Amino acid sequence: MFLTISTTASPAGPATDLGFLLHKHPDRAQTFSTSYGDAHVFYPEATAERTTAALLLEVDPPALVRRGRTKGRGGAPDAALAQYVNDRPYAASSLLAVAMRTVFSSALRGECRNLPERAAAPLPLRVEVPVLPARGGAALVTRLFEPLGWRVETEPVALDPLFPEWGDSRYVRLTLDGELRLSDALRQLYVLLPVLDDSKHYWVSADEVDKLLRFGEGWLADHPEQKLITSRYLSRRWALTRQAMERLELARLADADDIEVEEIDNAVEECGGPDEAEERPTPLAEQRREAILAALHAAGAARVLDLGCGQGQLVAALLKDPRFTEIVGVDVSVRALDMAARRLRLDRMGERQSSRVALLQGSLAYTDTRLKGYDAAVLSEVVEHLDLPRLPALEYAVFGSARPRTVVVTTPNAEYNVRWESLPAGHVRHADHRFEWNRAEFGTWAAAVAARHGYDVAYVPVGPDDPEVGPPTQMAVFTLTTKEAAA
Ligand code: SAH
């Protein structure tokens, strides 16, 4: 099993820097033992113009058999002879991926104490894999690597060069060219080689999901073949595949949040004077939580509902404050609640803490007696996720039925969108936003809701209050009128 990685000289430095980046000296051949045989690293060429590192894994078939994992495709154990005579020694597969991890662990993490700036920057790379099992054909190889920025070349490998009439094998010779960070390239190979082989040499367990997400960071969440990659990497174990896809989706949503955060950082920096510029501005999501906490304190609320709690960031913040004696997060998404439970470490929480918090699944579009009798309810960035025609149902469920003394609602201010540099004109901030209101629209809705249900309403800007377009987040604090509270 064989794989080479080459680079050429660039203005950033000579090609021999590859040795530093891989943590392997170009003048030496080194051998590492793995459970399945020896992995050798050596450099067939190492000049300032062009340097190539080779990883060769000498598979020890008896070791493979001893470890009992040479399964046939479809899960049936191979017949006795096939256990010893198979493609494992030759074809790049999960064994090679494991060898990569053994030999190039620091490079996979992108660590390089000597040349950190080179490790962090893309460099011209060529990867060659002479025998790549291509389950799904050469077209799939291209579909997997091209979206990552590689130019892909595949050459069929004849079943037997002496008998060309036998046709091609299911292996290809793969050449990838591109400008990528070395750690990205290695992490992609680490995941995609076994995906193309589609037959792991070891049993896939739940921690494989963590591994996939770790090595897939930065490229898998947006990959058009994400589902195929995930499913094959996890040996088609459906529960694991689903779990991984859900976590990728959440990572993507969190990334979308980060865009907001970064943009607000920029926005604050722009309006901040020289003194303010020194301090790191607080991200918008955090400013929102602080504004909500302040409103709940001012209302004297102790028992609080977080409606549409998402991944539970606000629930976590409320838990830190002993003034809140009972905190209930509600969401329609089981997946979000799962993430919230994990974030809060609900399963490892002491009894006193866990008696203060609960997570409930439910839809805010329906009245729910479980939500009655609380001091306050928060709808943080939730209303814009409902289709407008569903909003009266939510309004009734919260203000008419649950009817806490205080309701805090936050939502984006659409006018502010022109201030996000990365947001094309006329776009909403998040793909799942069904609408975004300007200040007048939000004000009209809130005033009508307050009037219909006997609340007073006050508006609070969250984030820098731009003189022209207002703040990025608008917040309304509803309080039951004294007459209604007494009733
Ligand atoms: N409150 C969190 C999450 C906002 S995202 C925050 O401020 O960060 C919107 C959340 O509302 C999502 O978690 C979504 O699952 C939830 N949601 C959308 N429609 C809902 C409904 N009808 N009932 C309950 N939750 C809903």
Q: What is the pLDDT of residues 427-465, one digit of tens each?
A: 777 778 889 999 999 999 999 999 999 999 999 999 989
Nearest CA to ligand 1 atom 18: 385
**Mutate which of 261, 331, 344, 475 to test ligand 1's pocket (most atoms within 8 Å of Cβ)?**
331
CB burial readout 316-336, b (16+ within 10 A) else e: bbbbeeeebeebbbbbbbebb
Nearest CA to ligand 1 atom 10: 308
CA distance 95 to 89: 9
Indicate the pTM of the whole model: 0.50
pLDDT at 2: 83
- According to CATH, the topology of domain 284-486 is Rossmann fold (3.40.50)
Q: What is the pLDDT of residues 101-140, one digit of tens each?
A: 889 999 999 999 889 999 999 999 999 998 888 888 889 9
> In the structure, which protein residues have their CB atom closer than 6 angstroms to any atom of ligand 1?
308-310, 313, 331-333, 336, 363-365, 380-382, 385-386
Nearest CA to ligand 1 atom 7: 380
CA distance 28 to 142: 34
- Every domain of the chain and the residues it spans: 2-202, 284-486
pLDDT at 309: 96
Contacts of 274 (CB under 8 A, 6+ apart): none
Partners of 437 in beta bridges:
413
CATH for the stretch 2-202: 3.30.1610.20
Partners of 360 in beta bridges:
330
Q: 37-46 and 50-59: which strand pairing? A: antiparallel
**Mutate which of 313, 380, 385, 429 to test ligand 1's pocket (most atoms within 8 Å of Cβ)?**
385
Query: If you search the block for the tokens 């820097």, which residue do you land on?
Result: 17
CA pseudo-torsion sign 411, 416, 417, 419: negative
CA distance 305 to 317: 13
Q: Please give the sequence-ordered ranges of beta strands (E in DSSP) within 117-223, or none if there are none.
A: 123-133, 151-158, 168-180
Distance 223 CA to ligand 1 centre (A): 26
**Mutate which of 332, 359, 367, 394 to test ligand 1's pocket (most atoms within 8 Å of Cβ)?**
332
pLDDT at 272: 25
pLDDT at 270: 28
Backbone angles phi, psi at 295, to 5 degrees: -65, -40
Helix 182-197 vs helix 137-145: crossing angle, to nearest 10: 150
Distance 415 CA to ligand 1 centre (A): 22
User: Which two three-digit tokens encode residue 190?
Assistant: 């680490």
How much of the chain is in helix, strand and coil states, percent to nearest 5? Answer: 45, 25, 30
DSSP 8-state secondary structure symbol assigned to residue 190 = H
List the chain residues with pLDDT less than 70.
61-93, 159-165, 167, 199-204, 253-282, 421-422, 424
